Structure formats: structure tokens, C-alpha cells
């Protein structure tokens, strides 16, 4: 095999196959496990400096609350036409109430969420004027779950595993995933014959996710996961190839999808030549949540029978839609179908 990544050819046949498989999304169920939270926005105008301290005074004219982290992945699965079982941990606080209300509006069940009164529900409050962030305030605890809380998570996973088509792990490093929990999920998914995907966090080492079927980091995350220094790979054209293959070897994953922003995605599968899929974004206003849309579309595509490269084409179409909007906004399946037909 060469170290050159070939471009994946996207022709009418590929598009028609993708459109055909989208019609199957409504029959597919995904078990989604990961950190959840609420994205809050406080918006207004700055017209003066505070007399109390040299800081701007925001005159608030609007507030907004949206689903964040794995909850955004869940609403993307729903908006794309699929079904989702969301397992996570929330606090016993106002944030949990807000989160549950937002989930209900997005038609995502909160039935499988585990409550831990010793932890706050993760909230990220962004104070903004126009598109400029003045400050962000985070309410969260990143320490590992208590053993009894982790046991409840695993019980939910065990109960739900038989009824789903695939399992997705969303790691935002808020404490939900331990080595023990990952190992238990890997073993149960393998035993049940379920395809296991992970959206990793760069603060972990690659072998933390050992045993998954697919791992989807961006390029910089892949460098951190593998602890490869980019400058140590002298041939620039081989950097993505070597990082992708190293990640594949270290995790044992049969598939690696390495996202590269404007350069699209590099796709590595065992016993196959890597291929590159382009991006389809026409305009980019906000990349927040684009990765969440990608993993949702990718999972639905794979379990609906698309080849991995085709599922990545689908995911890039979906991501191209959401980056043209502000904030964490899910991709609507009808808009996705229209976009594929037009481009």
C-alpha cells in the first residue's frame, strides 16, 4: 500500500445511493453515551464601561438556551430522521430541568439519564455582543463519576444494547468515561455484535479507546492522541497518512475518520487504501457543533448500509449545512436531501 491518500470520486451513483439509504434512517436506533450540557447565550450591546471596574457593561436584549455536547448529537440523530437512546449523567438542579425541557422539544427522551446530586449539570454561558464573545462562564465538574453512578450508567447500557443498531461514545472529558467504563462498553458491544464508534477527546491517549470499531478525531486531536509531533514527519504530504495509520494501530480500530476542516476527511480502513472526501460548505459562520452533526450522520449512514466513504460524504454534506448557521443547530433531513440533490 502506498502512503498517498486518493480522492474519493463522488458521482451520481454515489449520491443516489446516499439518498436511497437516508430513507432507512427512521428504522435505525443508536445508543449514544456521553457528556451532556446546555449552551446558554446572553446577548446585547456594549455602550459603556463600568464605573466599578474597567470592564464593558452589556445591555442584555436577548437570551437563548440550546442543547450542547452529546445532547446536540442526540438532537442531530433525531433531526436526521433516526432514533436515539441517550445515556448520560445530570445533576439535580435548574440546569437539569432546562436540559430535560430542551430534550423534550427536540423529541429526545430523557428517560435514560442518570441523576447525581453531587455534580452540577454542565452549562456553558456565553456573554456576547454581536458575534464577539465577551466572556464564557462554565458550570461543571470534570472529576470521574462515583462508582455507584458509573454502575447505573453501565446498567442502562446493558439494558439498551440489544435493541439498538450501533453504539456511539461522545467524550468531552467531563468525567463520564473511565478506563473501566470504556472496557465494559467495548466488551458488551463486541459480544452483542454492535458497531462501536467514538468521538474522542484529545486529553486522552489513543489506547484509552482500545477496542472500538471506529474513531473520529480531527487532525490536531489525532496528533495529541497518538503523541506524534508533526515536525517529526519530514514529508508533509505523508503526515495525515502516518497519523491516521498510527491511530488505527494504537486503538485497534478497523476504521479511522480523520476530519480536516476545509480539507474534508481522510478515511482509513483495514485492508483498504485511504481515501479523501472533500467538504461541501458553501459559507462558514460558526463551526460550533459541526463535529456533533458529523458523528450523527456518519453513524446513521454506516448502519443503513453505506460504505464508510459514502457515509463520510453524507456527513460532510450535513456539516456543510450547519456551519452556515450560528450556534449548535441540528441538520434537518429535508434540507440535507435538498443539498445533496443540488450540489
The residue extents of the domains of the chain are 6-342
Q: What is the mean pLDDT of residues 248-274?
A: 92
Residue 11 has pLDDT above 60, yes or no: yes
Q: Which of 43-47, 122-126, 225-229, 287-291 has the lowest average pLDDT?
A: 287-291
pLDDT tens digits for range 51-76 = 999 999 999 999 999 999 999 999 99
Measured between alpha carbons, how far is 182 from 169 in angstroms, rounded to an integer? 9
Q: Which of 174-183, 185-194, 319-328 has the lowest average pLDDT?
A: 319-328
- Which regions of the chain does DSSP assign to beta strands (E)? 6-7, 29-34, 36-49, 56-69, 83-90, 113-115, 122-129, 132-139, 166-170, 195-199, 214-215, 255-259, 265-269, 275-277
What pLDDT does residue 284 have? 63
What pLDDT does residue 287 have? 65
What pLDDT does residue 209 have? 98
Catalytic (active site) residue 292:
yes
Q: What is the mean pLDDT of residues 157-167?
A: 98
> Higher model confidence: residue 128 or residue 288?
128
Please give the distance of CA 73 from its chain centroid, rounded to a whole number. 6
Measured between alpha carbons, how far is 319 from 327 in angstroms, rounded to an integer? 13
Residue 135 has pLDDT above 80, yes or no: yes
Residue 285 has pLDDT above 70, yes or no: no
Q: Are 202 and 208 in contact (CB under 8 A)?
A: no
Q: Are 122 and 139 in contact (CB under 8 A)?
A: yes
> Higher model confidence: residue 115 or residue 5?
115
Query: Which of the residues 138, 159, 292, 332 is marked catalytic?
Result: 292
Q: What is the CATH number of domain 6-342?
A: 3.40.1190.20
Query: How large a percentage of the chain has pLDDT more than 70?
Result: 96
Amino acid at each position: 500500500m502506498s502512503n498517498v491518500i486518493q480522492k474519493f470520486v463522488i458521482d451520481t451513483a454515489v449520491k443516489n445511493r446516499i439518498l436511497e439509504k437516508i430513507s432507512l434512517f427512521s428504522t435505525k436506533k443508536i445508543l449514544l453515551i456521553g457528556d451532556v450540557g446546555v449552551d446558554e447565550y446572553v446577548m446585547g450591546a456594549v455602550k459603556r464601561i463600568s464605573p466599578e471596574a474597567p470592564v464593558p457593561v452589556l445591555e442584555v436584549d436577548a437570551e437563548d438556551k440550546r442543547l450542547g455536547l452529546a445532547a446536540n448529537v442526540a438532537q442531530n440523530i433525531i433531526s436526521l430522521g433516526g432514533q436515539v437512546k441517550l445515556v448520560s449523567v445530570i445533576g439535580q438542579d435548574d440546569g437539569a430541568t432546562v436540559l430535560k425541557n430542551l430534550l423534550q422539544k427536540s423529541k429526545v427522551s430523557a428517560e435514560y439519564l442518570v441523576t447525581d446530586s453531587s455534580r452540577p449539570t454542565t452549562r456553558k454561558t456565553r456573554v456576547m455582543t454581536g458575534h464577539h464573545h465577551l466572556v464564557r462562564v462554565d458550570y461543571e465538574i470534570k472529576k470521574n463519576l462515583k462508582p455507584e453512578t458509573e454502575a447505573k450508567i453501565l446498567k442502562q447500557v446493558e439494558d439498551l444494547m440489544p435493541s439498538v443498531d450501533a453504539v456511539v461514545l461522545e467524550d468531552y472529558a467531563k468525567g463520564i468515561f473511565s478506563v473501566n467504563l470504556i472496557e465494559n462498553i467495548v466488551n458488551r458491544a463486541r459480544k452483542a455484535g454492535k458497531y462501536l464508534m467514538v468521538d474522542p477527546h484529545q486529553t486522552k491517549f489513543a489506547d484509552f479507546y482500545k477496542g472500538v470499531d471506529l474513531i473520529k478525531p480531527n487532525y490536531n486531536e489525532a496528533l495529541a492522541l497518538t503523541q506524534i509531533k508533526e515536525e517529526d514527519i519530514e514529508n508533509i504530504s505523508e503526515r495525515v497518512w502516518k497519523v491516521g495509520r498510527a491511530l488505527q494501530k494504537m486503538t485497534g480500530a478497523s476504521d479511522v475518520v480523520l476530519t480536516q476542516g476545509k480539507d474534508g476527511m481522510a478515511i482509513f480502513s483495514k485492508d483498504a487504501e485511504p481515501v479523501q472526501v472533500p467538504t461541501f460548505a458553501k459559507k462558514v459562520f460558526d463551526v460550533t457543533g459541526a463535529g456533533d452533526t458529523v458523528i450523527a450522520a456518519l453513524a446513521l449512514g454506516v448502519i443503513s448500509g453505506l460504505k464508510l466513504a459514502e457515509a463520510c460524504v453524507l456527513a460532510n454534506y450535513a456539516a456543510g449545512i450547519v456551519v452556515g448557521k450560528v450556534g449548535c443547530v441540528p441538520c434537518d433531513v429535508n434540507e440535507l436531501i435538498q443539498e445533496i440533490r443540488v450540489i
